[in-house]
Amino acid sequence: MRRLLLTLPLLCMPLIAAGQAVDGNLGGVAWLQQQTLKSAQQPMQGSLLVQSQNTTTANAQNDTSLSLNPLAGGTVSSSTVQYGLAPNVTAQAGVTQRSWATQPRLIGSEVGATYNAGRYSLGVSVAQDQVPNTTPLPRVLPGAVTGVNGLPDFDSSTQVNARGRFALNGSSGVLLGASVGRIHLLPGNLMGLSTLDQKALSFGVDHGPISGNIIGRTMQPEPGMPNSFTADRRWNSIDLGVTWRLPWQGSLSFGAQNIWSSGNATNVPAGPPEPDQSRTPYVQYHQDL
């Protein structure tokens, strides 16, 4: 089951090296992003809408399930298909590929449906992300490991996502999201674990071209895993981000990953390494051409 689913100057020097852009997520599927929960983005009943996007790397700040370091770098390609099942119901499927140094290193797929009643909408989906090669994800910059949820030995994950939007008026809305799933690590990883359970909650608001969200995540070993160092551990983190969509088809995003976290940010000699939970502020600019 795990293997079936398969330009303007940037605003700061680390992001120039990383080639970072905004308005993407690890799943990369458009119907779970804030702007596409609005009724104008839904296909009519019986019609098909196909969308593709190729950009420099996308961050994970708008995603409620998995997270990448904002300085990770790389490129991302995504394709989605939406079909109008009924006046208010749309089915979707999408695939996203994230690559570093021209090699595909992370592939995500997602299927789901959205109910849109005008003032409020709700989308649910099942997603999987995996690395096609059984090697740790590459280190792109010093101190910026290309891991998932702070885990450089990420192998694959499966999760169920839900996201909803309630419109306060014609230009403002409130967004809620949730995700539950399971992360698999590569064999022989230094944590000595094979599986982690993960949960995430998100809360966001949008007003015209400005949107912001806060995401809380928690990970812990699967119950019953035999490891005396980490069996009772739990790692929590909170991300905060704000995006301003500019009139000339650009967007400016700023915030911090792991603005708060529990657990050790650095490894200690007394036990195996912890997931990387270093606080990472970022400022990012993206221009659609």
- 10-residue mean pLDDT profile of the chain (289 residues): values are 37 32 36 41 81 64 66 78 92 88 75 92 94 65 63 90 94 95 88 90 95 93 67 85 90 89 58 78 81
Query: What pLDDT score does 279 carry?
Result: 87
Query: What pLDDT score does 230 carry?
Result: 60
Q: How far apart are CA 96 and CA 74, in angstroms?
A: 13
Query: What pLDDT score does 288 carry?
Result: 73
DSSP letter string over 181-206? EEEEEPTT-TT--SEEEEEEEEEEEE
Query: What pLDDT score does 58 carry?
Result: 44
Q: Which two structure tokens, joined as six digits, stand for 121?
A: 């909408």
Query: What pLDDT score does 236 carry?
Result: 92
Which residues, 6+ apart, have CB-to-CB distance to 174 below 8 Å? 165, 166, 168, 203, 204, 205
DSSP H/E element including 15: helix 13-18
Looking at the chain, the number of H-run helices and the number of E-run strands are: 1, 14
Query: What pLDDT score does 278 carry?
Result: 82
Query: What pLDDT score does 226 carry?
Result: 63
Place of tokens 């980490």: 230
Nearest Cα neighbor of 177 from 274, 269, 60, 265 is: 60
DSSP H/E element including 98: strand 89-100
3, 130 Cβ separation under 8 angstroms: yes
The domain locations on the chain are: 13-287
Query: What pLDDT score does 101 carry?
Result: 63
Does 2.40.160 match the CATH number of domain 13-287?
yes
- Kindly report the pTM of this predicted structure: 0.76
